[in-house]
Amino acid sequence: MKLNLKVWRQKNDKTAGKFETYVLDGVNTHMSFLEMMDVLNEKLITEGKDPVAFDHDCREGICGMCSMVIDGRPHGPNSGTTTCQLHMRFYKEGDTITIEPFRANAFPIIKDLVVDRSAFDKIIQSGGFISVDTGQAQDGNSIPVRQADSIASMDAAECIGCGACVAACKNASAMLFVSAKVSHLGLLPQGQAERHERVLNMVKTMDEAGFGNCSNTGACEVECPKGISITNIARLNRDYYKASLISEV
C-alpha cells in the first residue's frame, strides 16, 4: 500500500515548523501506525535525512506516550484507541495522512512530533498522592468502600496522562486529566486526608502551567483513548468549591 504522509517537522520550540510530504510505499496493513512511522524513519535514514522524532514506549496503549494528532484528531480516527493501537488496515491505497503534534501552550514542542508534557508531572507532584503507613498491605475487606465509589474511582484511574484531552480542547484545558486524578484518589477512604488540599494544589498548578479553562464542549471525553467521563470534571468543580470555602474559614 502506498501512502502520502504530511508530517509536521520542527527543530525546536524556538524555530518555525512546517509540513513535509513523504511518499511511503509497501506499507503492510498489519502494521501499527507507529510501525509505519518506523518504516518511514528507516527510509529517511537510508536517504541521509533526519528521521521524524516521535514519542513512544510500551506500544500497548498503556503508557500514554504516543502523542500524535492524526488527520485532526488526537490518536487518530478510532475511538478508545491510542496511536500505537491504530493499525494501517484502516487506511487504503493512496490515502493522504496528516500527522502533527499535540498543540497547546502548556505542551511546548521539543522536536517534530514530540512535545514537553512535564506540566502533567508537576500537577501530579502537587497533590497526586495519599498519606498511608508503609508496611504490610491491609486486608481487602478491612476498609468498607461503596461499590459505586469503587467503580467510579477505578474508571478515573484508567487515565494514562497522554494529553489527548488537552489537544482536543479548543481552550487546551487539562480539566479532564486533573479531574480524573482528583477523583480516583478522592473517592476512596485512603484519599480523604488530603482531599481538600489536593484539589486546591492541583488546580493551582494546572492554572500556573498555562492550561485553558473548561467550556464543557465534551471534546476531551470523545477523544480520550480510555473513555474518561466528564462527570469527573463536575466532581472536581464541587470538590474545589467546597475546599475553597473550607480554606477561608
User: What residue ranges define each of the domains in the chain, with the CATH number in brackets?
Assistant: 3-110 (3.10.20.30), 118-248 (1.10.1060.10)
Are β-strands 3-9 and 96-100 bridged in parallel, bridged antiparallel, or unpaired? parallel
Using the predicted structure, report yes or no on whether residue 171 has a pLDDT greater than 80: yes
Using the predicted structure, report yes or no on whether residue 249 has a pLDDT greater than 80: no
pLDDT tens digit sequence for 184-194: 999 998 888 89
> Rounded CA gap, 29 and 207, in Å?
43
The pLDDT value given to residue 178: 97
SS3 category, 201:
helix
CA-closest candidate to residue 194, choices 249, 130, 242: 130
Neighbour-count burial of 109, counting CB atoms closer than 10 A to its CB (0-12 exposed, 13-18 middle, 19+ buried): buried
Q: What percent of the chain has pLDDT over 70?
A: 98
Chain mean pLDDT for the chain: 94
pLDDT tens digit sequence for 127-163: 988 877 767 776 767 778 899 999 999 999 999 999 9
pLDDT tens digit sequence for 95-123: 999 999 999 999 999 999 999 999 999 99
Please state the rounded mean pLDDT for residues 29-33. 96
The pLDDT value given to residue 140: 66
> Rounded CA gap, 64 and 181, in Å?
15
**Residue bearing cell 488530603:** 194
pLDDT tens digit sequence for 198-218: 999 999 999 999 999 999 999
- What's phi and psi for 245, nearest 5 deg? -65, -40
Cα Rg for the chain, rounded, in angstroms? 20
- The 3-class SS string of 102-114 reads CCCCCCCEEECCE
Please state the rounded mean pLDDT for residues 234-249. 89
The pLDDT value given to residue 144: 84
The pLDDT value given to residue 208: 97
b/e 201-218 (16+ beta carbons within 10 angstroms → b): bbbebbeebebbebeeee
SS3 category, 193:
coil
